[in-house]
Amino acid sequence: MRITVTGGTGFLGRRLVKRLLADQHAVHLLVRKVKTGFGPEVDCSVWDGLEMEPAPEALEGAEAVIHLAGEPVAQRWTPAAKERIRRSRVEGTRLLVGALERQKQRPAVLVCASAIGYYGSRGDEVLTESSEPGHGFLPEVCREWEAAADEAERLGIRVVKLRFGIVLGSEGGALAQMLPPFRWGVGGKIGSGQQWMSWIHAADAAELIAYALRCAELRGPVNACAPNPVRNEEFTETLASALRRPALFAVPERALRILYGEMAEVLLASLRVTPEAALRAGFVFRYPELGPALRNLLMAERPKAA
């Protein structure tokens, strides 16, 4: 299959591209810079997702498109940063769909990233794909983002919107940022520790994307998170145990708000999300439980013996 991918040089994107190449797919990346590190086996086209549509040849012959590109959310939310976050997702997706509309032969499927931030912080409420959206900046961005992707449906393209939870991988993302303080013995829960965390092993995240390409049953929103969310306190204890370190400290909410401003709400949000659509479609998680997921990631990070 010929697949065009945006965001393929990011933390999850790199893992996904390797997964697709292993299955002998032809991959074409839409990137900001030509140097990707993948070598000649991966074709690349430069694309500024804020300013223009992708070049037609980058999408020509594509049987599937995977759209992962977007400004990082994990930064202090200045007005300028919030605008970059929104535009990179909403306008970037609109420009991509606009380019697809101009293709004579369109792909069968568009897999577009979204996020469980769609639901907003909901306490202990169990959230499925049919749950109503929340309120605030991130839910609003997610609603606009998904609406932009839905425009591809009228072109006869199957659209899958993967609402990612916290993607865990030792090579990047949230876990890579957590590891240093925990290794130093100063890690701990965030705030009360009672907020729910919905997570997914990076290998399962990449596999779910690949599954969405070939599973015609998957359409619309799909929660991309493991079937067993945990409270932040349990996450902290499980990570500390896997590292054989104590978890005696707690990060006060006030400190987070001073450090991150409005973005602290993301760190303190309680999201108890279940992957109902993925399970119904027959997807099998390799790492449904947090303990084995963390142990696998930490083992992969250790240097191999000579």
| CATH code for the part of the protein at 2-168+199-225+273-285 | 3.40.50.720
Q: What is the pTM of this model?
A: 0.94
Q: Which two tokens stand for residue 146?
A: 């998904």
Tens digit of each residue's pLDDT (9 = 90 or more) over 135-170: 999 999 999 999 999 999 999 999 999 999 999 998
**268-280 burial: b if 16+ Cβ within 10 Å, else e:** bbbbbbbbbbbee
Measured CA to CA, the distance from residue 121 to residue 254 in angstroms comes to 18
Q: Which two tokens stand for residue 209?
A: 């994307």
Which positions of the chain have pLDDT values less than 50? 303-306
For residue 306, the model assigns a pLDDT of 38
For residue 302, the model assigns a pLDDT of 58
For residue 305, the model assigns a pLDDT of 41
* Residue corresponding to tokens 């303190």: 268
Measured CA to CA, the distance from residue 269 to residue 120 in angstroms comes to 7
Tens digit of each residue's pLDDT (9 = 90 or more) over 254-302: 888 888 889 999 989 999 999 999 999 999 999 999 999 999 999 865 5
